């Protein structure tokens, strides 16, 4: 699931880690290269989850997102046909996967703004990223409701 | 190219202002008077009516019949200025300059490893569609954008054609007469850098 490294970190810690990594690079082409590299390293989604129902609405390129609920925690796996998008997906998965629905609902996701991505992404990508974050919060709300 | 509506004997012709360096939101509709006289107005508003009585409404004459309400004054002045500008430079000169840029770009792009030009029209004009290896056109476009090079990406309003080629879309460079060979060199350099990251 590619989430093992995030399990013991809080959402805030993972965000800070990403902010630090991006701060280290000054050229935006290098930052993009890192995003793409993260996309390439994102573990493959199980093919059975790469179905139309798992496509995120509002993304210009295709993004599949699947949520697994195990022992009170949500684990996300995802894929995209475009590499930059896949890298963005990898960032989101890295921050949010392996946390409880409550933690995800309460999380303040500031890393996208802090690393300057919001102003650097094209509007369609930026909207797509927001749709992805929204979808994850929806999953969290749904599983949180199921729990009670 | 210059087009003569009389020689072609067309009934109607339209074009958009922004295709000729004019403002967006305005265009030109040419129609033969015999048809325009027969056509009812498609929209109501100020200045499109000559007289109104309870029995009868008489529409204003052409072109006012079709120009209801406040006209796009700034747009019309802008479009006129654009047409004068293009005419002053000369359509033939623009065409020759663009054709030379196209030849230069085609030759330069074909030297990039893994670059595939999509479509092999004999009389290519204005645009070159391509794909960089297996990279998604959005990724290629975004990395060019980050290097200050503006291209269009996607299916370019022709999804069935993309289906025929079996591709999600293309990255597309287009040329205007004010572009330079140095800018094409920058595009080639930008693509080579993007290829290193994406492929």
**DSSP code per residue over A77-104:** EEEESSHHHHHHHHHHHHHHTTB-HHHH
Q: Write down the H helix ranges in chain A.
A: 4-7, 11-23, 28-41, 83-96, 101-106, 111-114, 117-120, 123-147
Give the CA count within 13 Å in the CB-facing half-sphere of B45.
Answer: 9
Residues 6+ apart with CB under 8 A from B118: B129, B130, B131, B165, B167, B170
Please give the span between the terminal C-alpha atoms of chain A, in angstroms, as a whole number: 26
Q: Round to whole Å and give the CA distance between B133 and B6.
A: 47
- Domains of chain A plus CATH, in order, are 11-147 (3.90.1010.10)
pTM confidence score:
0.82
CA dihedral angle for residue A120, residue A125, residue A128, residue A130, rounded to 10 degrees: 0
The tokens for A46 are 């199980």
Pairing of strands B115-118, B57-59: unpaired
Residues of A in contact with B147 (CB under 8 A): 29
CB contact under 8 A, A32 and B142: yes
CA–CA min distance B156, chain A (Å): 13
Based on the residue annotation, tell me whether A59 is a catalytic residue of this protein.
yes
> Tens of pLDDT along chain A (148 residues)?
444 544 578 999 999 999 999 999 988 899 999 999 999 999 889 889 988 888 887 667 789 999 999 999 999 999 998 999 999 999 999 999 999 999 999 998 899 889 888 777 877 778 888 888 888 999 999 998 887 7
Indicate which residue of A35, A45, A56, A59 is catalytic.
Answer: A59
- Closest listed residue to residue B32, CA positions, set B5, B53, B7: B5
Of the candidates B136, B168, B197, which has its C-beta nearest A33's C-beta?
Answer: B197
Helices (runs of H) and strands (runs of E) counted in chain B: 7, 8
CB contact under 8 A, B143 and A29: yes
CB contact under 8 A, A36 and B193: no
CA torsion through residues B43, B48, B52, B56, sign: negative
- Predicted confidence at residue A78, as pLDDT, reads 93
Closest-CA residue of chain B to A86: B139
> Tens of pLDDT along chain B (199 residues)?
788 999 999 999 999 999 999 999 999 999 999 999 999 888 888 778 888 888 888 888 888 888 888 989 999 999 999 999 999 999 999 999 999 999 999 999 999 999 999 988 888 888 999 999 999 999 999 999 999 999 999 889 888 999 999 998 999 999 999 999 999 999 999 999 999 999 9
Indicate which residue of B73, B157, B164, B182 is catalytic.
Answer: B157
Q: Round to whole Å and give the CA distance between B94 and B128.
A: 17
CA torsion through residues B30, B32, B33, B37, sign: negative
């Amino acid at each position: 699931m590619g989430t093992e490294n995030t399990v013991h970190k809080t959402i805030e810690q993972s965000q800070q880690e990403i902010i630090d990594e991006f701060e280290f690079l000054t050229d935006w082409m290098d930052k993009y290269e890192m995003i793409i590299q993260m996309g390439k390293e994102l573990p493959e989604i199980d093919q059975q989850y790469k179905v139309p129902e798992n496509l995120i609405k509002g993304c210009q390129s295709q993004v599949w997102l699947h949520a697994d609920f195990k022992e009170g925690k949500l684990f996300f796996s995802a894929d995209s046909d475009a590499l930059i998008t896949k890298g963005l997906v990898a960032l989101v998965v890295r921050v949010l996967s392996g946390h409880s629905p409550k933690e995800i609902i309460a999380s303040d996701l500031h890393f996208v703004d802090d690393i300057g991505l919001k102003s650097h992404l094209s509007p369609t990508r930026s909207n797509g990223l927001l749709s992805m974050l929204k979808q994850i919060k929806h999953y969290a709300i749904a599983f949180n409701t199921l729990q009670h | 190219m210059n087009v003569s509506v009389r020689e072609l004997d067309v009934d109607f012709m339209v074009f958009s202002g922004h295709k000729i360096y004019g403002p967006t939101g305005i265009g030109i509709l040419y129609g033969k008077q015999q048809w325009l006289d027969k056509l009812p107005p498609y929209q109501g508003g100020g200045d499109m009516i000559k007289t109104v009585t309870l029995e009868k409404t008489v529409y204003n004459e052409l072109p006012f019949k079709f120009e209801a309400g406040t006209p796009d004054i700034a747009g019309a002045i802008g479009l006129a200025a654009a047409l004068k500008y293009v005419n002053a430079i000369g359509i033939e000169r623009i065409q020759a300059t663009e054709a030379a840029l196209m030849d230069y770009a085609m030759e330069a792009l074909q030297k990039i490893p893994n670059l595939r030009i999509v479509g092999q029209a004999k009389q290519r004009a204005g645009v070159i569609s391509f794909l960089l290896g297996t990279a998604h056109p959005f990724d290629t476009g975004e990395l060019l954008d980050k290097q200050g090079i503006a291209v269009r990406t996607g299916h370019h309003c022709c999804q069935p054609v993309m289906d025929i080629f079996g591709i999600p879309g293309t990255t597309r460079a287009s040329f205007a007469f004010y572009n330079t060979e140095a800018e094409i060199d920058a595009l080639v350099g930008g693509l080579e850098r993007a290829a290193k990251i994406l492929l």
